[in-house]
Amino acid sequence: MVRKAEADCEKATVGGGCPNVKECVETCRPCYRGVGVVRVYCLAAGGGFPYARCVCSFYKGAPCNPPAPPSCPRPWHGADHVALNKTLLA
């Protein structure tokens, strides 16, 4: 069994395209500034939220709070569009 390396830090955003990992990658992409490694994964929804969390994990010296711009992680607006569509259709 291989031990999972612990991240230096992590940031999560509700939504972020999860469980679509490609969308989660796009959410975390602005976090990469050419230093270290940024890995992504989707976290199962919980605590009453209908959306899964996209988590950006920082390894090997990647800055957890890289200087802006762009914003890290990228703001996720997918949930807003879904809520807006439901409001307009109701």
Residue 34, sorted as left (phi over 0), alpha (psi -120 to 50) or beta, turns out to be left
- 29-48 residues labelled b (16+ CB within 10 A) or e (exposed): ebbbeeebebebbbbeeeee
Q: pTM score, two decimals?
A: 0.73
- What burial class does residue 64 get, using C-beta atoms within 10 Å of its C-beta: 0-12 exposed, 13-18 middle, 19+ buried? middle
Distance CA 50, CA 67 (A): 31
Omega prior to 70 cis, within 30 of 0: yes
Can you give the pLDDT of all 90 residues of the chain as single tens digits?
Answer: 444 567 789 999 888 888 888 999 999 999 999 999 999 998 876 655 667 889 999 999 999 999 888 999 998 876 444 443 333 333
